[in-house]
Amino acid sequence: MKKIIFPLFGLVLFGWALGIASEKEFEIQGGKLISQKPPFIMSLPSELRLIHSSSRANPTEKSLTRAYYLVKAKEKEVEEMLIVEIADKTDPQTGPMTIPPLKPFTEKRMYLKDRIKRGELRGDYLIQLMAWNPDAPSLQPIVKKGIVIPSGWALQGQFLFVYQGEHAIFIRYAKNVNSFGLKISEEGKDWERESISGNEKKAYETFQKRFMEMIDSIQIKNP
């Protein structure tokens, strides 16, 4: 049987008008993200709020992708954002979903890459430095809500896992480096993996702790 390969990027670039995903399938309660399809729970790293959701059909892959945008903003400027994409297999005759390996934007500013194997939760994760681009098509759902995405560096963690071969979940959490309350360099060379130090290293270590706590909190609930 044909396998479905879950594409990492481009899922949220098109098809925003195809419908709003059901709130009952995904909600925020008491600092926790609760997904009903597939059923799992994850603690949030801060007080993020859900501002946008959408769905997109993928006929070639025989799947449906739901996207959820959560943000924490100060004076309508994004400090943190969490994007959760869930791909659901739509054809029961196809084989289990498979996922490609995660790839950083650049190896120089990728600080951590590893794999989690904990019971039924098995997936890949990485942490890197990236540049926020407010003009990026994938971020327009946030911009259209009147929320400003500042240009500049952000630390980002990615986690990708398959749920029983029927769903693929892609989690991306990012935090503006200027929101750590530290004097931070804007020079890319100061953030390179081999030379990071001082406040840049402190910011990364704080982010890593928060991101890993979020990933470690995931609880898979069998239907």
Q: Is the peptide bond before 38 cis (omega within 30 degrees of 0)?
A: yes
Q: Quote the mean pLDDT of the chain.
A: 88
Distance of CA 152 to the CA centre of its chain: 18
Other C-beta atoms within 10 Å of 3: how many? 12
pLDDT above 90: residue 144: yes
pLDDT above 70: residue 16: no
Q: Which domain holds residue 134?
A: 4-220
Yes or no: say if 184 and 200 are a contact pair by the CB < 8 Å rule: yes
Beta 49-58 vs 167-176: how paired, if at all? Answer: unpaired
Per residue in 152-206, pLDDT tens? 999 999 999 999 889 999 999 999 999 999 999 999 999 999 999 999 999 999 9
- The domain that contains 10 carries what CATH number? 3.40.1000
pTM: 0.89
Structure tokens at 121: 């939760």
> Mean pLDDT across the stretch 114-124?
92
Tally: H helices and E strands in the chain: 2, 13
pLDDT at 49: 94
22 secondary structure, DSSP code: P
The rounded percent of the chain whose pLDDT value lies above 90 is: 74
> Mean pLDDT across the stretch 7-31?
56
pLDDT at 105: 94
Domain count, the chain: 1
Structure tokens at 92: 């029961």
> Mean pLDDT across the stretch 27-34?
93
